[in-house]
Amino acid sequence: AAWLFFDQSFAAPLTSLTRSLLNTLRTNPDYEIQYAGPNQLDPLFQTVNELTRRLAAHHRELVQAMTAATAQVEEQKNRLEAILRDLQEGVVVCNLNNQVLLYNQLALKILHITGELGLGRSLFTVVSREPISNAFRRLRLRVAEGRHHNHPLGITTHLVCATTDGLHTLHAQMTLILGAEDLPTGYVVTFNDITEELAALGKRDRLLREATEGLRAPVANLRAAAEMQAANPDMDIAAHRTFDEVVFKESAALSETVNQLCQEYRDIIVGYWPMTDDLSATLLEMVAQRLKETSDIAVTVVHLPQWLHGDSHSIISLNEYLIRRISAYSGVKAFDISAEAGPRQVYIDIIWSGEPLPTGFLDDGLNTVLPGAPGGLTVRDVLEHHQSELWSDRCGEGLARVRVPMPAARSVHTASELPPRPEFYDFSLLQEQLAPGGAFAERPLKSLDYVVFDLETTGLKPSEGDEIVSIAGVRIVNGRILTGETFDRQVNPGRPIPKASTRFHGITDDMVQGKPPAHLVLPQFHQFVGDAVLVAHNAAFDLRFLKLKEAESGVIFNQPVLDTLLLSVFLDDQSIAHNLDAIAERFGVHVSARHTALGDALVTAGIFVHMLALLKDLDVTTLGQAIAASSTIIKVRAQQKQF
């Protein structure tokens, strides 16, 4: 009887409640559970009903929110599809694995795809790999170095590529998709088919070439006839003179026409081919990296970077090809590559130890098709597009080079003019760092390794709480600036960055959020420096910040230090301005990306290399002598401070 009472009063109602709850959860959230059992369970059923009513209300709100969100997403999707449909370019969105995430119908037409491109497929199944990969690596490097903030194209670049079957040449524009902390999460590429336009350009190319070549023979014959007439003693003198005047006048006019046609032909080629301004260091580093990955050839990028104008992918392919060919001919496996600014052009120099290439060697390869170049471009094509030519000569004792002229940048890439940093002197600290030089004292300056460095800070008063926000350095070996061996880190100062300081270096609070503090970055920089001699401009300012961080970071920068400010005073009259911009102007060092730590370090490095030659002229040839020269300037400055 007890079990029967328990079953009817508790077990059966609870079983019914369980089934009703399952029905409510799985099928009908608005269902209200009915109860007709003993009073003992009535509060439980009322509570359960209240819970189910609330659950139903939340369910309705969730359904309404989902419906609204779905409608909004659908509306945005329709808008995006309409925008993509109306664009005149083919658009493809890819992730970091180059898998297609989105595309418009015009992309199928431009890429000459029948059917679907296929979400999740690799873009490289339809487009040549190298130009896309190179463009992405250049953009990623631009963002990693922070240059995209001031670069005229931001996170965008232009390139020329081809469909995988090689039948169609494409002009493309790539834009990075940035996520948290400016890290790339993918990219968008827009395509235009320029095959027919290039074919028309090629036709004009051939017509112009035939016209110019066709005119050369008549001109030569005309001149030969004139010479024959001039050598004929039987001709009447007056007639002879008249004939000569006509012949030479016409031949001169024809020669002028030929030259004009040649120039117009080159202008047509250059004016049409898609080109952009690029920093040489980015292109040359990619040449070095590609050769490192695919051969046993070592290429070192040296000297200061320069801005040039060209088709980045074909420039990379051309220089890679030239280095491979020179190596195959000479057996040389180590090269330097640099860019040097000229009056109207930028010269890319490929340098090696050995003899210049024989006459005709470079000409023999002009018709070679460059591997990976779109549209089957030859060496000659790339040179003509850039109004360039090749030659090989000596460039120093035991050194030879191939020089490749490139157009200078179309835009002026210079830093904004800002007041120079005030001269900062801590005489005790400078004297400590300008010790006699230890084991390096008698070493020739040219034989030493240097790290030229610079700091950007929250302000100019390290003893009053100002902190480091960026530190950068570049290595100099054997008098060569190794632009491929740099240290460049942003630092979280642990305090707000004043707007007045941001105006100088461009670094904001958002940019350093999540970056490591100075005491974690300085050990990395100390390892990068190693046993090298430190070089800085107005070094006491930077050294003071490093000194104040010794205890916290656990590293001491006790390497010998040379200060380009002190050396400038030693080399030039003390009445001359000795700020970084003024010295750079005197030495002809191009100033780009100034007021960034790496930009200032590169400019200082360029100045210091010039100073090494000037110091040698004054018989200052060892580290000890350079330190002694700097010490004399410190004493003079200290005396001046007393008056």
pLDDT in tens, 228-276: 777 776 777 777 777 677 777 777 777 777 777 666 665 665 556 778 8
pLDDT at 18: 74
User: 616 falls in which pLDDT band (50, 70, 90)?
Assistant: very high
| Average pLDDT for 611-618 | 93
The CA distance from 487 to 452, in Å, is: 10
421 within a domain of the structure (yes/no): no
Contacts of 19 (CB under 8 A, 6+ apart): none
Closest CA to 608 of 305, 359, 333, 303: 303
Say whether both 310 and 453 belong to one domain. no
pLDDT at 422: 53
- How many domains does the chain contain in total? 5
Say whether both 341 and 438 belong to one domain. no
pLDDT at 198 over 90: no
Residues 1-11: tens digit of each pLDDT: 666 656 666 66
| Average pLDDT for 32-38 | 65
DSSP string, 488-534: EEE-B-SSPPPHHHHHHH---HHHHTTPPBHHHHHHHHHHHHTTPEE
pLDDT at 258: 72
Pairing mode, strands 307-310 and 276-279: antiparallel
pLDDT at 421: 55
Where does a domain end: 81, 106, 125? 81
Closest CA to 80 of 192, 175, 188: 188
Say whether both 573 and 517 belong to one domain. yes
Range of the domain at 262: 197-272
52 within a domain of the structure (yes/no): yes
Say whether both 548 and 443 belong to one domain. yes
Q: What single DSSP character describes residue 593?
A: S
Tokens of 383: 């040179």
Higher pLDDT, 630 or 35: 630
Mean pLDDT, the chain, integer: 83
Higher pLDDT, 485 or 357: 357
| Average pLDDT for 501-517 | 89
Choose the weakest-confidence range: 110-114, 156-160, 302-306, 614-618: 110-114
| Average pLDDT for 428-453 | 75
CATH of the domain at 180: 3.30.450.20
Name the 3-class secondary structure at 365.
coil
The count of other CB atoms within 10 Å of the CB of residue 643 is 4
User: 350 falls in which pLDDT band (50, 70, 90)?
Assistant: very high
The CA distance from 364 to 322, in Å, is: 12
Say whether both 562 and 627 belong to one domain. yes
Choose the weakest-confidence range: 18-22, 46-50, 490-494, 519-523: 18-22
Say whether both 130 and 38 belong to one domain. no
585 within a domain of the structure (yes/no): yes
Closest CA to 56 of 32, 89, 81, 77: 32
CATH of the domain at 316: 3.30.565.10
Beginning with the edge strand found earlier in the chain, give each strand of the sheet holding 90-95 in spatial order.
100-103, 90-95, 184-193, 169-178, 156-162
Contacts of 131 (CB under 8 A, 6+ apart): 159, 160, 161, 162, 172, 313, 372, 374
pLDDT at 37 over 70: no
Name the 3-class secondary structure at 557.
coil
Say whether both 451 and 514 belong to one domain. yes
pLDDT at 184: 92
Contacts of 474 (CB under 8 A, 6+ apart): 451, 452, 453, 481, 482, 483, 485, 486, 487, 598, 601, 602, 605
Higher pLDDT, 207 or 628: 628
Higher pLDDT, 151 or 469: 469
In the annotation, is 595 catalytic?
yes
Say whether both 603 and 506 belong to one domain. yes
CB 447 within 8 A of CB 479: no
531 within a domain of the structure (yes/no): yes
The count of other CB atoms within 10 Å of the CB of residue 90 is 24
CB 552 within 8 A of CB 435: no
Kind plus residue range of the DSSP H or E element containing 15: helix 12-26
Say whether both 451 and 486 belong to one domain. yes
Identity at 633, one-letter amino acid code: I
Higher pLDDT, 227 or 124: 124
pLDDT at 309: 92
Choose the weakest-confidence range: 60-64, 453-457, 459-463: 60-64
pLDDT at 85: 59
318 within a domain of the structure (yes/no): yes
User: 133 falls in which pLDDT band (50, 70, 90)?
Assistant: very high
419 within a domain of the structure (yes/no): no
Identity at 59, one-letter amino acid code: H
CA distances from 620 to 86, 494, 611, 616, 636 (A): 68, 43, 10, 5, 19
How many angstroms separate the most distant Cα atoms in the chain?
155
- Rounded percentage of the chain residues whose pLDDT exceeds 90: 42
The CA distance from 98 to 93, in Å, is: 9
CA distances from 353 to 325, 350, 403, 479 (A): 15, 11, 15, 16
DSSP string, 130-175: HHHHHHHHHHHHHHHTTGGGTSTTTTEEEEEEEBTTSS-EEEEEEE
pLDDT at 374: 66
Residues 312-338: tens digit of each pLDDT: 889 999 999 999 999 999 999 999 999
The count of other CB atoms within 10 Å of the CB of residue 69 is 10
Kind plus residue range of the DSSP H or E element containing 390: none
pLDDT at 522 over 80: yes
| Average pLDDT for 146-170 | 89
CATH of the domain at 499: 3.30.420.10
Say whether both 578 and 493 belong to one domain. yes
| Average pLDDT for 479-500 | 92
Residues 38-95: tens digit of each pLDDT: 666 677 777 877 887 787 788 788 878 888 777 776 666 656 555 555 566 888 999 9
418 within a domain of the structure (yes/no): no
Where does a domain end: 149, 169, 194? 194
Say whether both 593 and 632 belong to one domain. yes
Say whether both 70 and 100 belong to one domain. no
CA distances from 385 to 18, 265, 306, 310, 353 (A): 81, 10, 20, 8, 30
pLDDT at 277: 87
| Average pLDDT for 139-145 | 91
The CA distance from 313 to 283, in Å, is: 8
CA distances from 87 to 83, 105, 130, 171 (A): 6, 10, 26, 15
**Options 171, 309, 313, 595, the catalytic residue:** 595
Dihedral (C-alpha) 506, 512, 516, 519: value to the nearest 10 degrees?
50
pLDDT at 75: 67
Higher pLDDT, 175 or 18: 175
Strand partners, 400: 352, 394
pLDDT at 427: 45
The CA distance from 344 to 121, in Å, is: 45
Name the 3-class secondary structure at 544.
helix
Identity at 385, one-letter amino acid code: H
pLDDT at 216 over 90: no
CB 606 within 8 A of CB 305: no
pLDDT at 574 over 70: no
420 within a domain of the structure (yes/no): no
